[in-house]
Each structure stands twice: as C-alpha cells, then as structure tokens.
Structure 1
C-alpha cells in the first residue's frame, strides 16, 4: 500500500521521550517535526468526532532515503466503510483518496503534488467519507500555517545527515 512508508511514524504518537520527534516549529494549527530519517508537517482536525483508540490527523511526509517527498497521509476520525469513497476538499477543489480502515492517501505522486500546492494557498480542507456504521464522517482542517510547516519539514529532510 502506498502509505505503508509513513504509517509506522503515526501508529503511536505517544512514545517514550527519547523516541519523540524533534519539533521544527508550530505554525498556527500545523506543526513540523523531524524523527530519525524522516520529517513531516502534521495537524489535528479542527472539528471531528474524537475516537478512543487513535488521534485523527493530516500530514505531509518526507523520507529522503526512500525518495518520498511531499506524501499525504490522512488518519480519519472513524473507520471507513469498505467501498466508500474518501474525498479531500480544499476550498473549491476535490480529490478522491485511496485507503482503508482509518487511513487514506493520495492515489499517486501527481495527486500528492496537486494537494500540497492547493494546501499552500488554500483556507480550509475537509476529508469526507462514510464510517463503517454508515454515518457521515467529516474532518475539517484550517490550512493557515500548513505551507510553513510543510516547508520546515522539507528543508529539515533536505539537509545532509
């Protein structure tokens, strides 16, 4: 699966202090972090139901050793119903994401690049799907600070180790 590279970073954000990501900065609702050989910009949704077992988020990740730059990863606030579309909307543009369970990704690098470009100039981002129980799921993000957090993550992972 396309997001398998980034998935391990986010499986458990509550890890021992020595394994915590290093903050590169907080920019309104968005943060940028470096952890080992990868960097990411990340935010929690402004409005969404809160699951008990995980925290929903949107992130843009960089893994220079794997050739990954600007990869979108969404952790949904609810388990997605099998067969339901996951739609990402930024202002007046919409993309269909791929994924399953509580995760979603852009279908390819081109879509990643389009989404990141739209995030840089956009105001609001919404992720919509149907939960495994059939309820409408809608996670809402403000994009103020996203461009700066994305740039901080990209720059940190562009530096030679």
Structure 2
C-alpha cells in the first residue's frame, strides 16, 4: 500500500523508471541527471504535514561509492534542534535544516544503511518549529532489496533503457 502510493507519486516524473517495489520500499532510476534511489513513506508521521515525508537512500557512484541517506520530515525542524535516527539499538545524529535531515558523512551513511539491513523499523525524531516533539516511523521490510536494486540500477556498467 505504501509502495503503491510512492509509485503513483513517482509515475508523473519524466525520465523516471521503476526498478522495483519491495514491500514498503521502492527503487527508481532517473535518466537525467542519472541517479537511482530507494524510497519509502512513513508508516506513522508524528506531525500533520503540508508535504509528503519520506526516507530515501540515493546511490552515488563518485569517488566514495556510497548510499546517501536523506529524510524529509513530516514537520519543519526547530532551528538548532537535533534529529535522531533510531534503528534497533543504534542511534544516529543527522544534520538538518527546515524539514530535511541527512547523514553528516560517508561513515555515518554506511553505518545507517548497514543498520537498516538488519532491523524491522526506524524512526526519525526531533522538535518541530512549534516546539512539539515528533517522530516519523518507517517499516524496513524491503529496504535492503530496494537499496540493492538502486545500487545495481545505476552501476557504471548498467545501461539506461
């Protein structure tokens, strides 16, 4: 159901190819600029949102060959408030501005993706601009497969259709 909503939202983007839908996650490839990503909608959003929150892992193939973690939160984050990503017993502090949160460096990206592969859910929490704490929760069923599909879909030897 969540992945179906992502497919509908992504269907109208010109040059976007669906690489697959894997339970609560989906993988896509954009033709220009060439990029691939795995994405999911939250199963629970902690704030009423004017936009569509999501979690994503963008496949990068520059010198660092890594998946970059990016999350659009369900609320604008209070300036200076920490964003914590909880995956199982692991906690990660993300960089943030407005409603966006991302991994601060390649080592943290790598650790987050590794933690996602072995957990059932994750939640990103912070304090909204209004001062209320909130958390967005994501199921991780299908995340590993979607991340792998995005990685393979944009590998240097992978031709675009």
Structure 2 counterpart of 1:57: 54
Equivalent of 1:40 in 37, 40, 43: 37
Instruction: Identify unmatched segments of 5+ residues in structure 2.
Output: 1-7
Please tell me whether residue 23 in structure 1 is matched to residue 24 in structure 2: no
Q: Determine if contact 1:61/1:68 at 8 Å carries over to the other structure.
A: no
Following the alignment from structure 1 to structure 2, what is the Cα–Cα distance between the partners of residues 115 and 142? 14
Alignment of 1:94-109 (within 5 A): 94-109=91-106
Structure 2 counterpart of 1:81: 78
Alignment of 1:64-143 (within 5 A): 64=61, 69-143=66-140
When the two chains are superposed, the root-mean-square deviation of aligned CA atoms in Å is 2.0
Structure 1 residue ranges, 4+ long, deviating more than 3 angstroms after superposition: 13-18, 65-68
Deviations 1:13-47 (A, max 9, x none): 95883615211111111000001200000000000
Following the alignment from structure 1 to structure 2, what is the Cα–Cα distance between the partners of residues 80 and 20? 32
Following the alignment from structure 1 to structure 2, what is the Cα–Cα distance between the partners of residues 16 and 27? 17
Q: Determine if contact 1:97/1:106 at 8 Å carries over to the other structure.
A: yes
Aligned residue-pair number = 148
Deviation at 1:124, TM superposition (A): 1.1
